[in-house]
A = this chain, B = another copy of it.
Amino acid sequence: MEFKVNSKELEKLLTKIIPAVPTRTPMPILENFLFEIKESSLTIIATDLEISMKSSINIVAEKDISIVVPARLTHDILKSFGDTTVNFEITDNHKINLTTDNGEYSISYLSAEEYPEIPNFPTEADDINEISINGLDLKHAFDTTSFAMSKEEMRPSMMGTLLEFEEDGLRFVATDGHRLANLQKKNIIAEIDDKYVVPEKAISVLQKILDEKEIKMFMSNTHISFKLNDIELITRLIGQKYPEYRSVIPLENEYDLKIKTKELLNAIKRMMLFSTTSSTRRVKFSITESNLEISAEDIDMGNFGKENIMCEYNGTPIDIGFNSQYVNDVLSHLVNEEEIILKLHSANKAVIIVPSKIKENQDLMMLIMPVRLNN
């Protein structure tokens, strides 16, 4: 059975789907695409068993068939063709014969039965929620918060981002226990009061493919489906309960330190050069009424750095230590805010960081745990 496609069109589609193909897997079958030809539509599916992605193009085919084809080779070949018409001939002896103006190529395929079961959205479930979101809004929320997710498998729920539907907006929370990012998008309102923990893989793929187009999200207790223009991404949810993050956010941080974001970030980047050896990569903040002194020391090498930055501070003078890498991560995600406010209480209490200008559509808050200063 045969069909024709434009190589560039098919390649573009494969490029969108291929992020779901795992690079290292104990199950080599996952390094394949599933090609489903049905009613003159070619649907291409990839999965790593946590997420699955699928997309379709129209073709003219006289028969329905499902086959399993090597993902990277097929993608590379299509890419190498440039922009031309490719004839696909699927033979009974497990070969795909490709013909172009340039030449003939043959790839072996496997039977569809060898492909594992794909994470599918349980459309029959009775607790399904649905919402439309602007793609850039969702991308901004992930871009702002996902850096704080944990990379450690000790607590699986922290390896995802919490999506919490509230009356006044959709909240995105990520934390690894050392720092926390907390963003409420007030313009995403839905009659939903559920929460979902989305794993890192789905988020990192979405960050790459989301654009200004509207997307649809379908949520069940076990899965979320993201429907973009021509792609569907389905991910399993993390089943574990998300930690009670609200209990670590201090309420009585009564001291405000107002400072220019870029000045502090640039100084932190310099301090990182001097805080390389200690495991906590410590930078010290010494805060007085109108001055923040930050300093870092590499005791092994005998190097140190110290800078003073103008600020406004309304509390009692305080010395407090941080992991410079974490401060850098947090500030890098606040760099569009001209000024930020650090809310402090004492040297061993979590510090809250918020933009000094409140935005209409969002409520953004970051948190960093201090590290001990050894005096």
Q: Which residues of A contact B (CB under 8 A)?
A: 70, 73, 76-77, 80-81, 94-95, 102-108, 266-267, 269-270, 273-274, 301-308
Contact = CB atoms under 8 A, between A and B. Distances in A.
Contacts of A274: 105
A356 to B, nearest CB: 22
Contacts of A308: 103
Nearest to A93: B302
Given A103-B307, A103-B308, A308-B103, A108 B302 contact: yes
Nearest to A103: B307
A107 B267 contact: no
A18 to B, nearest CB: 15
B104 A306 contact: yes
B303 A270 contact: no
A141 to B, nearest CB: 31
Contacts of A273: 73, 76-77, 80
A303 B103 contact: no
Given A70-B301, A301-B70, A306 B270 contact: no
Given A80-B266, A108-B302, 20 more contacts: A70-B301, A73-B273, A77-B270, A77-B305, A80-B273, A81-B270, A94-B302, A102-B270, A102-B307, A103-B270, A103-B305, A103-B306, A103-B308, A104-B306, A104-B307, A105-B274, A105-B305, A106-B305, A108-B301, A108-B303
B304 A105 contact: yes
B102 A303 contact: no
Given A102-B267, A267-B103, A302 B95 contact: yes
Of the listed residues A303, A307, A308, the one surrounded by the most CB atoms of chain B closer than 10 A to its CB is: A303
Contacts of A106: 302-305
B303 A80 contact: no
Contacts of A70: 301
A275 to B, nearest CB: 12
Contacts of A301: 70, 108
A35 to B, nearest CB: 16
Contacts of A73: 273, 303
5 closest pairs, A vs B, by CB? A103-B307, A108-B302, A105-B305, A80-B270, A107-B303
A242 to B, nearest CB: 38
20 contacts: A77-B273, A81-B270, A102-B267, A102-B270, A103-B270, A103-B306, A103-B307, A104-B305, A104-B306, A104-B307, A105-B274, A105-B303, A105-B305, A105-B306, A106-B302, A106-B303, A106-B304, A108-B301, A108-B302, A108-B303
